[in-house]
Chains A and B, each alone.
Chain A
Amino acid sequence: GDSVTQTEGLVTLTKGLPVMLNCTYQTTYSPFLFWYVQHLNEAPKLLLKSSTDNKRTEHQGFYATLHKSSSSFHLQKSSVQLSDSALYFCALGTGGYKVVFGSGTRLLVSP
């Protein structure tokens, strides 16, 4: 069946450094990928989405490129801030009414 894999459970970084959070997926259908961010005690909210192969999509300093050849949609930022500390979820939509979420990566940014 359809699945999403986020390999890092926890990423800790110092402010100002670059980050890449991994997301790979598995599906036999044409994929639609999302990144959601969930700050502590807040609702998850959409950060990025894409269905276009090899096109970079950006929002609030974060960016990701869907690569269908490698089934990946890694999230990146060139310089993390303290306010970026949160849970990040990669999600896959492949048809019908259901979206499959990854297990999440917690990003902790220290001063």
Chain B
Amino acid sequence: NSKVIQTPRYLVKGQGQKAKMRCIPEKGHPVVFWYQQNKNNEFKFLINFQNQEVLQQIDMTEKRFSAECPSNSPCSLEIQSSEAGDSALYLCASSWTGAFYAEQFFGPGTRLTVL
């Protein structure tokens, strides 16, 4: 069973509304990744953190998406103004390192539906 906890499992928002989801990484993992998995099951990398610092993020994230991993609190991903195209499964993963050779441990995801 996954030790990465994501809440909520399901999120329904209207267009223009904020959507916020949270992730608690596996204990001892300092690196957190966020991915968007679309209806065709394709993964899109959004952002990753090492502790509280951003390692990498894509341009999309810099505009309507915001994310943080505060100390001693769950990580979060927020969409400021949801669009229909944001409907997807948002997966959080954690790892002991952000390096390219490390296994990522995934949570079950938050399924966002934007009406």
Name the A residues within 8 Å of B100 (CB-CB).
32, 93-99
Determine the interface band of chain B, counting residues with CB < 8 A from chain A.
20 to 34
Partner of A97, one of B35, B40, B56, B105: B56
B42 near A49 with CB under 8 A, answer: no
A87–B38 Cα distance when bound, in Å, is 14
Name the B residues within 8 Å of A97 (CB-CB).
31, 48, 55-56, 98-100
Query: CB-defined interface of A77-111 with B at 8 Å, one 1/0 digit per residue?
Result: 00000000001010001111111110110100000
Query: What are 19 inter-chain pairs, A to B, with CB distance below 8 A?
Result: A43-B91, A43-B105, A43-B109, A44-B91, A44-B106, A45-B105, A87-B41, A89-B41, A93-B101, A96-B100, A97-B55, A97-B56, A97-B98, A98-B45, A98-B100, A103-B40, A103-B41, A103-B42, A106-B41
